Amino acid sequence: MEAELKGHTGRVRSVAFSQDGSQVVSGSDDRTVRIWNVTMGEVEAEVKGHTDSVMSVAFSQEGSRVVSGSYDKTIPNLECDNRGHGG
């Protein structure tokens, strides 16, 4: 079954799957980064803090962190527990 991931209010610029495929991280022109539960189609975490469009997102190889790059010239990172909730 496919879940449609809805929630961003701007263009989605970047998406990436977690290594185990259970989560997706997305970055958008709405200046947010969201971590999604793929099966449920629900947001597990939302990061607000960028002051411009988010152009790049990625999970770390072990899946414990998410990083994002933005036109605001910052690269914050989010520590995640094993369910993807912000730490």
Give residue 10's pLDDT band: very low, low, confident or very high (50, 70, 90): very high
Q: Residue 18 above 70 pLDDT? A: yes
pLDDT tens track for 30-40: 999 999 999 88
Q: Which residue has the tokens 């152009």?
A: 55
Per-residue confidence (pLDDT) for residue 75, from 0 to 100: 82
In this predicted structure, which of 6-15, 17-26, 30-39, 73-82 has the lowest mean pLDDT?
73-82
> Contacts for 31-40 with beta carbons within 8 Å, 24 or more apart?
31/70, 32/8, 33/57, 33/66, 33/68, 33/78, 34/7, 34/8, 35/66, 35/78, 35/80, 35/84, 35/85, 35/86, 36/5, 37/84, 38/3, 39/3, 40/3
